[in-house]
Structure 1
Amino acid sequence: MFGVKVHKLEGEKVRRKLIELGILDKEHKVKRDGEFLIFPVKEKVEGFEIVETEFELVEKRPHSYREVVNVPEHLKLLLPSSFDIIGDIAVIELPKELMQYGNQIGEAILKVHKHIKAVFAKGSAVSGEFRVRELIHLAGEERTETLHKENGIKLRLDIAKVYFSPRLATERMRVFKKAKEGEIVFDMFAGVGPYSILLAKKVRLVFACDINPWAIKYLEENKRLNKTPNIIPILGDVRKVAEQIKADRVIMNLPKFAHEFLREAMLSVKSGGIIHYYGFSHEDNLFDEHEEKIKTVARELGKSVEFLERRKVRPYAPYQYNIAIDFRVF
């Protein structure tokens, strides 16, 4: 094969030039020869020292764990195309037909994604007062605590003890962009603080409530980790806290049950303040049912609402969506 030989100090400049000319052979590795580098090229090119030599092939890494996993051929169509990555832990949802191959699937994920250190399967749905699920260890380290990074913040958490979804990072940033400096925010179901920590970087004060003591423990740690002293963590039932707070903006990230806490949210927001409401809906009726509940509670409290934005946040289940409704309360 042909190669372009240059002194190592000229290596980066020459590499860029060969790419620009479209002749760098990216399927083979660059060769070292003492103080010199030899770049594999597809053809001879004038203006460079050309040598003939042998090059090693670049090892092509698979793009997906499904390319390397060892499961029966007839089951490969059942392999999930995606999974959650929380810090350095992967959490995958496997159909029952694949559970017996969990270790092979976990090892394949570790092989393809070098930054992942542990793999778990979802063993149950999210349930209970603390919104947690059973997890089944598949491969890698047997630990459930990790450090997750998103939107420029750090979140330490234990995925077995608290609820957390990395799939809401974009939604959290959307709310952050809408928040104003000087605001007081009430995060009604704060968890380990993905909304609270982010918003505290911008607003004046955040009241962050959760009934799960583990969530508040990690929220306290994340408050220190991110240097956000303007967060007030509150351990307890949000129903007992609500009317004591008057906020410019309220976050209701409890999609399955948020409608049951609309009264508390509206009693906690200042006149003209904004509520970010989340729910689950069938694709045939995404917003109407939720908006009717919002208007009903507002009437009962002698208040009025103005709907500002409606959006699908993400698919949740077949034909089901996690939806967001932003509305102002007067």
Structure 2
Amino acid sequence: MMGVRVHRRDGERVRRLLAELGLLDTGRKIRREGEFLIFPVKGPIEGFEIVETEFEPAERRAHSYREVVEVPEELKPLLPSSFDVIGDIAIIELPEGLMEYGKAIGEAILKVHRHIRAVFAKGGKVSGEYRVRELVHLAGEERTETLHRENGIRLRLDVSRVYFSPRLATERMRIFRKSRPGEVVFDMFAGVGPYSILLAKKAELVFACDINPWAVRYLEENVRLNRTNNVVPILGDVRKVAGRVEADRVVMNLPKFADRFLREAMLSVRNGGIVHYYGFGPEEDLFSEHEGKIKAVAGELGFGVEILERRKVRPYAPRQFNIAVDFRVLK
């Protein structure tokens, strides 16, 4: 078979070139001979040393854990098609009928996804004052602390002690792109700081509040990790902070209960400032109930509101969606 022979130091550059030209034979393994590499190619190419040699077939790598997991055939349709990855930890939601095969599922995930070091199953719904859930260890390392990267920032956290959703990375970047340099931001339910630390890249000052002491502990560490010294971590009930902060932009990432804190959000935003509100809504009418509450609270305070954007963020449950409403407060 035909191959291209190059020095190992040029290997990655040549591999990319052959792939871009559509000449690299990905069905065959690259050969190594001392300081040289021989790439299997589909046809002749000028400018390189061409050799005739034998190549071993390349091993096909599975793209999904479902291709390699060992569970009864009748249960395979129940296998989730996706799972959350936070740093090097995978968290999967398994139907009750699959929990007894949790170890096999966890090991399959580790086999296919080499960067994952630990796999857990969701043991229940997000609950309690700190919005955390029970996790069941399935495979890999028995640790729950990790370092997560998204949107150019690093976040250290413990998935068993704080609430964090990697599925909101796109939404967090949307808010960042809407923000303006020099703003004062109030992140009412900051967690470990995914909104706060990202927005701090533009903001003059970010007040980041959370009632979970573990979340604030990691938030403080993440401030140091990202060198965002313009983030002010606040441990406590946001009701006691509201009104003492005067912000240009308020983030209300507490979709289950955000409507209970609308008064606090509006008292904390300047005239003409913007509030990013999150909630859950049924597919048939995503926004009406939330907008009604927003306008009612504004009316009680003697304020006006201007709805700027409505957005379906992500599916939450059957026929239920996590939604966002951005609005301006007029005092």
Q: TM-score range by the shorter chain?
A: over 0.9
Partner of 1:244: 244
In the alignment, the residues of structure 2 paired with residue 236 and residue 23 of structure 1 have an alpha-carbon distance, to the nearest angstrom, of 60
Corresponding residue for residue 168 of structure 1: 168
CA gap of 1:198–1:37, structure 2 versus 1, over 3 A, is closer
Q: Which residue of 1 aligns with 2:88?
A: 88
**2:235 paired with 1:235:** yes
Query: 1:16 deviation in Å?
Result: 6.1
Mapped pair 1:302 → 2:302: yes
4+ residue runs over 6 A deviation:
45-48
CA distance in 2, matches of 1:270, 1:91: 39
The Cα of 1:149 is off from its aligned counterpart by 0.6
State the shift of 1:232 in Å.
Answer: 1.1
Q: Supply the distance in 2 between the matched residues of 1:10 and 1:146 (Cα, whole angstroms).
A: 35
Shift of 1:74: 0.5
CA offset digits 1:71-112 (Å, max 9, x no partner): 000000000000000011000000000000000000000001
Identify if the C-alpha distance between structure 1 residues 236 and 35 changes in structure 2 by more than 3 Å, giving closer, same or farther.
closer
Give the 5 Å matches for 1:255-274: 255-274=255-274
Partner letter of residue 251 of structure 2? I
Which residue in the other structure is 1:177 paired with? Answer: 177
1:104 aligns with: 104
Separation of aligned partners in 1, 2:144 and 2:96: 22
Aligned pairs for 1:72-221 (under 5 A) are 72-221=72-221
Residues 74 and 186 of structure 1: is their aligned pair in 2 closer, same or farther, counting only changes over 3 Å? same
Q: CA deviation at 1:317?
A: 0.7
Indicate the residue corresponding to 2:29 in structure 1: 29
Code of the residue aligned with 2:90 in structure 1: it is A
SS at match of 1:185: strand
% identical aligned pairs: 75
Measure, in 2, the Cα distance between the counterparts of 1:13 and 1:235.
50
* Unaligned stretches of 5+ residues in structure 2: none
Q: How many residues align?
A: 330
Unaligned runs of 5+ in 1: none
Distance in 2, matches of 1:21 and 1:194, equals: 40
User: How far has the Cα of 1:17 moved from its partner?
Assistant: 6.4
Question: Displacement, 1:33?
Answer: 3.4
Shift in Å, 1:6:
5.2
The CA distance in 2 between the partners of 1:11 and 1:211, in whole Å, is 52
Matched, 1:2 2:2: yes
- Bigger mean CA offset, 250-259 vs 237-246: 237-246
Deviations 1:258-284 (A, max 9, x none): 000001111111111000000000000
Q: Aligned partners of 1:9 and 1:240: how far apart in 2?
A: 61
Q: 3-state DSSP class of the match of 1:125?
A: coil
Q: Which residue of 2 is the match for residue 38 of structure 1?
A: 38
- What TM-score does the superposition give when structure 2 sets the normalisation length? 0.94
